[in-house]
Amino acid sequence: MPYQIGLTGDVMLGRLVDEHQRRRPVTAVWGDLLEYLEGLDGLFVNLECCLSSRGRPWRRTRRTFHFRAHPDWAVPALERAGVDCCALANNHVLDFEEEALRDTLDHLDGGGIARAGAGRTREEAFEPASVTASGLDVGFVSLTDNTPEYAASGASPGTAYVEIDVDDEGTRRAVSGALERARERDPDLLIASLHWGPNMVETPPDSFREFGRWLVDEGVDLVHGHSAHVFQGIEVYEGRPILYDTGDFVDDYAVDDRLRNDRSFLFEVSVTDDGDSVELRLLPTEIDDYSVHRAGAEAAEWSRERMRELSTEFGTSFERDGEQLVLDLDS
């Protein structure tokens, strides 16, 4: 049987999510998806906040939002959902300065949850995660082009920041180095997770498309994009899926009535013993009451049709299986 590996967009557990979670069961944030998540062989998310009760809001540059979740509930919630690895290269992991970033690293390590994309040093920030998901060895590299002031530098804590430009020598050197270190561990599956681009953008720019294909050429098996808060179309390049943006999975954000940033998918890839991705399934999800849920019938249909529309320009088409969209990667 193939391994079932799940990927999500932004998991933001701060602000009102944090406030509500302090007075309800830790698993409430996963709504009616908890059992489904627990049944996956592996689960990889973008953690869009720090996990700490310490630190002060970042004021060195202008920051409108600061996201922090209390580790007393957040870490057990991640554990209960079976989260194997968190991408930390994003524009919120340093919202409460270095103290809270260090706490985030320590709390994830203490919970046995792998992480990549941020660290106490630049070297640690670019260090790939290595995860064994029910017997499948997964290499995971996390990168961002958001918030350059959060970039790790030498011995300074921060994120794995790069310019999304295949012609940039510094980018190629940093990314190729991280991928090479991941490949040294001979993973069955290599994932590159990128927090890239601005918010509320429906299609990736040409530079992202070129970069995503370059990552596949460099040996990446799956590109896991996020940052726009809305899902974008999916491309299959050389048999490898490029998820340009996986949208939002759980948060407390205001909802745009047209773009519907409260709707997305759980992206589930089936991987064989030898690491070949054979199928991608999209389970429609919807955020309600600061929790993630299976999308209702109307929302699910909207998301399915929107994904079909956005993926057409990449020549990607889906079959329908119940509430899910299915993409055959083995054809």
Any idea what the Cα angle at residue 115 is, between residues 328 and 173, rounded to 5°? Answer: 80
Beta strands in the chain (DSSP E): 3-11, 42-47, 50-51, 68-69, 85-87, 114-116, 118-119, 129-133, 136-144, 158-159, 189-195, 222-226, 234-237, 240-243, 248-250, 263-271, 277-288, 291-294, 319-321, 324-328
- Give me the half-sphere count of Cα atoms (radius 13 Å) on the Cβ side of residue 279: 14
Q: Which two tokens stand for residue 246?
A: 């996986």
Inter-helix orientation angle 97-110/71-80, to 10°: 40
Query: Would you place residue 227 in the very low, low, confident or very high pLDDT band (cuts 50, 70, 90)?
Result: very high
Q: Considering the entire predicted model, what is its pTM?
A: 0.98
**Distance between CA 247 and CA 263 in Å, rounded?**
8
pLDDT of residue 163: 97
Residue 331 has pLDDT above 70, yes or no: no
In this prediction, residues 38-52 reach a mean pLDDT of: 98
Give residue 45's Cα distance to chain centre: 4
Domain boundaries, the chain: 3-328
> By three-state DSSP, how is residue 199 classified?
coil
> Residue 155: its pLDDT value, please?
85
| Local confidence band at 108 (pLDDT 50, 70, 90 cut-offs) | very high
- Give the pLDDT confidence score for residue 65 in this predicted structure: 95
Evaluate if residue 102 carries a pLDDT over 70.
yes
Q: What angle do CA 319, 35, 230 make, to 5 degrees?
A: 50
Q: Do 252 and 17 form a contact (C-beta atoms < 8 A)?
A: yes
Structure tokens at 52: 């700490």
Q: The tokens of 232 are what?
A: 């974008």
CATH of 3-328, one of 3.60.21, 1.10.3470, 2.60.220, 3.30.160: 3.60.21
Give the model's confidence band at 330: pLDDT under 50 very low, under 70 low, under 90 confident, else very high.
confident
Which pLDDT tens digit goes with each residue over 112-161? 999 999 999 999 999 999 999 999 999 999 999 999 999 999 889 999 99
Task: Give the model confidence (pLDDT) of 245-256 as tens digits.
Answer: 999 999 999 999
pLDDT of residue 166: 97
Residues 200, 182 contacting (CB under 8 angstroms): no
What integer best gives the mean pLDDT of the chain? 97
* Residue 168 predicted with pLDDT over 90: yes
Over residues 34-59, the mean pLDDT reads 97
pLDDT of residue 275: 84
Phi, psi dihedrals of residue 173, rounded to the nearest 5°: -65, -45
- Residues of the chain with pLDDT > 90, as a percent, come to 97
DSSP conformation letters of 93-120: TTTTHHHHHHHHHHHHHHTT-EEESEES
Q: What is the mean pLDDT of residues 24-36?
A: 98
